[in-house]
A and B are shown apart, each in its own frame.
Chain A
Amino acid sequence: MPQLAEEQLAQGLRLPVNALDYAILIVYFLVVLGIGFAVRRSVRTSLDFFLSGRSLPAWVTGLAFVAANLGATEILGMAANGAQYGAYTVHWYWIGAIPAMVFLGLVMMPFYYGSKVRSVPEFLLHRFGPASHLLSSVIFAVASVLIAGVNLYAMAIVLQALLGWPQWVAIVVAAFFVLAYITLGGLSSAIYNEVLQFFVILAALIPMTVIGLKRVGGWGGLRHSLSARHGDDFLSAWGGTGIGHPNSLGANWLTIVLGLGFVLSFGYWTTNFAEVQRALSAKNLSAARRTPLIAAFPKMLIPMVVVLPGLIALVMEPALGRTGSGLSYNDAIPVLMRDLLPNGVLGLAVTGLLAAFMAGMAANVSSFNTVFTNDIWAAYVRRGRPDAYYLSTGRWVTAAGVLAGMGTAFIASSFSNIMNYLQTLFSFFNVPLFCVFIIGMFWRRATAAAGFWGLLSGTVAAMVNYFGLYRQGVLDIPSDQGANFVSAIVAFVVGGLVMVTVTLFTRPKPAASLVGLVYGTSSPGMQPPPEAGDDAWYRRPALLGWGAVLLAALCYVPFSL
């Protein structure tokens, strides 16, 4: 009974919040509503609602791109991974995010933005046709609602433990605010709140990390205590990852590089519409390409204020994650908030966490309403209505999505580590999609039927591998994370093989219909003239992209010696 465990934990983690802390929280809620009302006046067309009228500057979309991923489940989950797996957690950032973000900006964005699609599934419609379009739209809509539910459930548990709010109060309050500001302002509201949340959560995490480091005796003291207790490999990114060598992550260097670094990461960052939508709302192609590249730089530094606090929490509370202690790994950040932050900064941390939950949920809801309205409703159910009809549909779908998210929240309760649950979902939904995209973008011959069957077989293969082979004990993989990496590789390989096989037996699409969608083609008139100032050296995508990859590689140096 998970509820019982949470009840016990609620006593131990209650934060000593006072009126100042609540004032900070209330100011934030008022600002969020204010943004919704202010943005509402500027939303006139469905393009304004779903893609911010393709008008935002690159620094805003770039910060929103990283903030859409910096939801509270990510913050709590990655701190949990830090406490559980040690320095291996940096792989989720430096090999598991940066290369894929750079690839999105340099290679894939010209196809996405240049083809003027409104969503990732719509690209499939042009490249492969309606069958794969509908399949991926439905899969995405279902996944978004599930993940929004995970966010809500996780938030309810945390607020119950920290503030003593009953779970239903937390769910209703957060869902109401997300519903209000997205229904009012659409994607612009979501993006503005993401940028705001990004600064608030950093303003809380940085002081927490500074105080925490002082408490454990600096980096040297942290290293000393953890090495003494968990061995030298605990603070090494690659130590103990040889094939056949047991380690806490349950994965070896090959499954880390292929499963996490290539398949899972590229699947998430390049085809997850909740992310890509932020880049599609940029004001021109140059800003769209720079969106994930600008995001790569803050993303690289986030382990310093997320994974590092996880390690600090493990030194301060050695019982963290042990059975019987009443503290799970997910409590790493709440423990630090309770033990280190005085009122004031504490209120900021609570606000940042709540804002991060709402932003994570809002990212899913705003991408869900776009895909459902444009790719399912407008494409297959009610075609050819006036624009105002789809704008109002988008608002109703937002409400339905938030309600469905509340309903699915309970599914998350059967997993102990929230991050594992999200990773599992991504391996089922994003990896086959990435496989179909990458083959479709680079192999002109790939046929419409191949797109559909590749997508379907990849998704089924990942599910069979995870639930059929790993959960039933047929495959012996030491941890859930290790199983995720393997499922992702299986999904990619099966999807790819099926695509190649089906292509060889079906008729390719005529070359004229693939212009602007496949590598090596570009359609005339699609290249917009560069804006003044976009040729400045610090705005060149190649420099930003390769700079990010180089810096990420350098980040590994202190953890590899």
Chain B
Amino acid sequence: MNRPQPPAGTRLFDVRLVIGGLFTLYGLMITGAGIAASDRDLDKAQGININLWAGLGMLALGLGFLLWLRLRPAVPPSPAERE
């Protein structure tokens, strides 16, 4: 990278961290609600344990974003920019 002025994107934190973190947390909360689902919850959702499935899906999405961030991290700021 021999740009004179690194673009602001390298200074910005990565949005993948936010999406990954939030969805991992939401995934755990909603999967938990799915495991503890009452009969009323199941009846309301037409017999589908929707909290369990949605929670697992969100957990997978969140972990996927975190994995992507880990495998392909953003270009780190150049020393001059770090001050």
Contact = CB atoms under 8 A, between A and B. Distances in A.
Interface stretch (A75-83, A209-217, A302-310, A452-460): A209-217
Nearest to B30: A344
B21 to A, nearest CB: 8
A55 interface: yes
Contacts, number: 115
A188 B12 contact: yes
A295 B28 CA distance: 29
A60 interface: yes
Nearest to A45: B8
A420 B48 CA distance: 36
A211 B15 contact: no
B8 A52 contact: yes
B29 interface: yes
Interface in A204-250: 206-207, 210-211, 214-215
A407 interface: no
Contact of B19 (A24, A34, A42, A195): A195
Interface in B1-50: 7-13, 15, 18-19, 21-23, 25-26, 29-30, 33-34, 37, 40-42, 44-48, 50
A35 to B, nearest CB: 6
A129 interface: no
B13 A39 contact: yes
B22 A31 contact: yes
User: Do most interface residues of chain A lie in helix, strand or loop, or is the interface mixed?
Assistant: helix
A130 interface: no
Which of A28, A31, A342 has the most B CB atoms < 10 Å from its CB?
A: A342
A27 B50 CA distance: 21
A43 B13 CA distance: 11
A74 interface: no
Which of B9, B42, B48 has the most A CB atoms < 10 Å from its CB?
A: B9
A5 interface: no
Interface in A256-284: 283
A215 B47 CA distance: 10
Interface residues of A, number: 44
A348 B37 CA distance: 16
A198 to B, nearest CB: 9
Contacts of A341: 44-45, 50
Contacts of A210: 48, 50
B61 interface: yes
Contacts of A28: 22
A209 B52 CA distance: 16
A553 interface: no
B50 A207 contact: yes
Contacts of B41: 342-344
B72 to A, nearest CB: 11
Contacts of A43: 8
A342 B26 contact: no
Interface of B: 7-13, 15, 18-19, 21-23, 25-26, 29-30, 33-34, 37, 40-42, 44-48, 50-51, 53-55, 57-58, 61
18 contacts: A20-B29, A23-B29, A28-B22, A34-B18, A35-B18, A42-B8, A52-B8, A53-B7, A55-B7, A55-B8, A55-B12, A207-B54, A283-B7, A283-B9, A342-B37, A342-B40, A342-B50, A348-B26
Given A31-B22, A48-B8, A343-B33, 16 more contacts: A20-B33, A31-B21, A39-B12, A42-B12, A53-B8, A53-B9, A60-B15, A192-B15, A192-B18, A199-B19, A206-B54, A214-B47, A340-B45, A344-B41, A345-B54, A348-B54
